[in-house]
A = this chain, B = another copy of it.
């Protein structure tokens, strides 16, 4: 049974803190293995990639077949259900339109002292996108990672996707094509991350790697971080629903289950001021679970990590929501905007009863790669800025150097950095 809390219970603060502290990640000791794999790929390049792919994916490759050719991608696309393909196209179009609004502006100005200042945004020159194989091969995630990179203007976007036993999800290849991916390689695991980060004879290195993966992929991303950029290490997904008695309990139960079906470590939480709604949601959820294909996963997630919290007043909700800092926050109350305005920490907010999170997962247009495990306290969902970087620009003429120089010299001297001071004074002497 999920946790059931009431804000009026004597030990509510402690029980809520325990809910926050619950560890949902399975910690696997994979780091030593991953270090060995990365070292092998750095040392032996393609040969190591081919060896690991034979071992882990039961697939015999050569340097010539590492890359998936355009003809193979076209063949895969032809195999796709036209309805799914059309849906993917609608999704791509909406994701592109939304992310185009995230393109940042450059700035260049001259301040009152005559100093020229500003910054310039440029796209990252090459980006690698990891796409998991097997059951977690989500074509929607290909779009969510690749489209912002292309909107940012990244000239080279590379996908790595394992094909265990040679099997590939054709819709993943179709999504890569649709999103404008430049190269696709049939490699996975830590060996794929190493190849993207350090390059091989066949695969040129990239400057940043994004995309989800298993514990080996996550450990490899942590290890190559610094040599290349990475996105966040994604944890299990989560949803928080804040609802009042105007909400439909069947809809809420369906949303809680949609989150729970991702993974046994997913978390679904309902906060409401209506004990009747809480009861109705729990009953509906149990009923809906009976006919769910992934009932084992969703049931375990709900049992182990689900929570229903009833409050004396929804005025208590914002503070709790900020501490939970949920990846997905649905607000299904009479005045959802007013509630949203009072909450600081959330990856994405879905307003009103007709915005199930699944719309945002696929076709809303906003990104579904969002901060998990309370990291919405300090980080954002994936966006165009994650594929760009900002260079600051400064120019002084002789007058500006004369005006600002003495302060720079004073600070250089105060910090014991005489060469800093001299790099200014040597010019002042010539002004």
Using a CB–CB distance below 8 Å, which chain A residues touch chain B? 81, 83-84, 86-88, 90-91, 94, 97-98, 101, 107, 109, 111, 115-117, 119, 122, 124-125, 135, 138-140, 171, 207-208, 226, 228-229, 233, 248, 250-251, 254-255, 257-258, 260-262, 288, 292-294, 298, 322, 336, 340, 344-367, 370-371, 373, 375-381, 383, 385, 389-398, 400-401, 404-408, 410-424, 426-427, 430
Contact = CB atoms under 8 A, between A and B. Distances in A.
A413 B293 CA distance: 11
B404 A254 contact: no
A81 B422 contact: no
Copies, count: 2
Given A171-B414, A418-B261, A363 B430 contact: no
Given A379-B389, A394-B359, A404-B364, A351 B116 contact: yes
Contacts of A262: 417
B394 A117 contact: no
Contacts of A107: 101
Given A171-B414, A390-B380, A87 B407 contact: yes
Given A97-B111, A349-B392, A355-B396, 16 more contacts: A81-B410, A86-B407, A91-B407, A115-B365, A207-B378, A226-B373, A257-B419, A293-B416, A294-B416, A294-B417, A354-B396, A354-B400, A358-B423, A364-B396, A366-B392, A380-B391
Contacts of A365: 111, 115, 117, 394
Which of A83, A353, A389, A418: most chain B CB closer than 10 A? A389
B407 A356 contact: no
B101 A257 contact: no
Given A135-B416, A358-B423, A404-B364, A395 B352 contact: yes
B423 A349 contact: no
Given A366-B394, A378-B389, A401-B355, A411 B117 contact: no
10 contacts: A87-B410, A91-B411, A119-B366, A125-B377, A226-B375, A254-B419, A258-B417, A261-B418, A294-B417, A355-B395
Contacts of A348: 391-394
A359 B405 contact: yes
Given A87-B407, A115-B364, A373-B226, A395 B251 contact: no
Contact of A233 (B226, B257, B367): B226
B361 A408 contact: yes
A288 B383 CA distance: 47
A125 B257 contact: no
A26 to B, nearest CB: 15
A354 B427 contact: yes
A99 B358 CA distance: 37
